[in-house]
Amino acid sequence: MSLFAELTTSLNAVRPGRTRMRNYDAPLVLASVTLLLLGLLMVYSASIALADGPRYASYGRFYFVIRHGLFLAAGLIAGAVALSMPMRFWQRMAVPGFMVALALLLAVLIPGIGREVNGAHRWIPLGPLNFQPSELMKLCALLYAADYTVRKQEYMQSFVRGFLPMAFALGAVGMLLLLEPDLGAFIVIVAIAIGILFVGGINGKYFSCLTGVMVGTFLLLIWLSPWRRARLFAYLDPWDDANAYGSAYQLSHSLIALGRGEWFGVGLGASVEKLHYLPEAHTDFLMAVVGEELGFAGVLLVLFLFVVIIQRGFDIGRQAIAMERTFAGLVAQGVAIWIGVQAFINMGVCLGLLPTKGLTLPLMSYGGSGIVMNLVALAILLRVDIENRIMMRGGRV
């Protein structure tokens, strides 16, 4: 065989392998869509009985699932817009976006602008909807931390120029969130920022110092706040009579729901705890309804889907960093940290592994601002992956 024929045969053997590479990350998309659809189904199941109670008597049986579907639609539209934006756009918007989110956190505390619910100032009313700036801050803090790490890369070992500016930024965010109060959002934001700084190569001593300060602040806030302290002690002994009918009421009924589910659940729609026993079953404690109706198998399925998203996020980030796209890589891994930390805290609360916190289950729980921001974050993660694939094909981004 001639040399030309050998080269032609070789090229023909290689070309199909190149064209078979997808334009998107199929496991990431499949896991995300499955969680969204499962979340819509479980929100419907968990909220359908709420209309039978006096608090939601005027809402109707389909009120929450219809609104959740509309939030999903809005999130998909916002995600489509985010997906169309190149990563260089998000890098340019990192600092301005962080400042806008900080201003909105401040606006929440201004009388006449922010809305108070159960003593908390976390929402800005926008007609029939309520916007929660802390959800926007999660995304903006992620972009800011990634951009900061890239801009300060040569100073990441310096205390004054590498450590202090980010510490002050997190302190400002923390102060505003604790005035709302929204300790759960603060924990997630700090975890995102610290995780990105760690991946970005911050000095180990400064990283340990920042982590220690944040943990110490968290414990101090719990100790100085009587109602937070009550929640902590209730979490340690939820079956005590005083706790079971007080601070640990939600936790005790969450554990009852999970216990009733056993291996394969009592059946979709057959939950008893959602019948006005378990408060916030369609938001913070949706996982308890999943455990009761779908059992241990359903909980494992949800856990597996989140593991797929987190693993793909870190892999996409590592791939981007290997191609010297540091900002994009840090953003991708930041999204994985965000989804992973918030899901871990929500599931830990439902399982009694962590004290009760007001955090929803990403991609699944009922909630407007949260589900929209989750979908925007996933769209940005997909954008990083798409740009990786374009570069692997020899293209430009």
pLDDT at residue number 278 = 85
CB atoms within 10 A of CB 99: 12
More confident residue, 313 or 129: 313
CA dihedral of residues 181, 185, 186, 187 (deg, nearest 10): 130
* Cα–Cα separations (whole angstroms), residue 163 to 40, 49, 202, 286, 334: 42, 50, 8, 38, 18
CA–CA dist 339, 317 (Å, integer): 14
Return the residue matching tokens 């990563």.
87
Long-range CB pairs of 119-126 (<8 Å, 24+ gap) are 120/180, 120/181, 120/182, 121/179, 121/180, 122/180, 122/182
Average pLDDT score over residue span 108-136: 82
Lowest mean pLDDT among 17-21, 63-67, 233-237, 322-326: 17-21
pTM, entire model = 0.89
Lowest mean pLDDT among 16-20, 137-141, 298-302: 16-20
Average pLDDT score over residue span 176-202: 86
Interior angle at CA 57, CA 54 and CA 60, nearest 5:
155
More confident residue, 212 or 150: 150
Return the top range by mean pLDDT from 211-215, 241-245, 277-281, 359-363. Answer: 359-363
Reported as half-sphere exposure (CB side, CA atoms, 13 A), residue 69 has a value of 7
pLDDT at residue number 13 = 45
Average pLDDT score over residue span 328-357: 92
Helices (H) and strands (E) in the chain, counts: 15, 3
pLDDT at residue number 227 = 65
pLDDT at residue number 220 = 73
pLDDT at residue number 129 = 79
Return the residue matching tokens 């779908």.
294
- Please determine, for residue 202, whether its predicted confidence score (pLDDT) is greater than 80: no
Residues 233 and 225: beta-carbon distance below 8 Å: no
pLDDT at residue number 343 = 96
CA–CA dist 301, 251 (Å, integer): 22
Tokens representing 184 are 């759960």
Q: In 3D, which of 100, 47, 78 has the Cα closest to residue 380?
A: 78
More confident residue, 113 or 105: 105
- Please determine, for residue 70, whether its predicted confidence score (pLDDT) is greater than 90: yes
The beta-strand segments (E) located in the chain are 115-117, 120-126, 129-131
Instruction: Kindly report the average pLDDT of the chain as a whole number.
Output: 85
Give the three-state DSSP class for 130.
strand
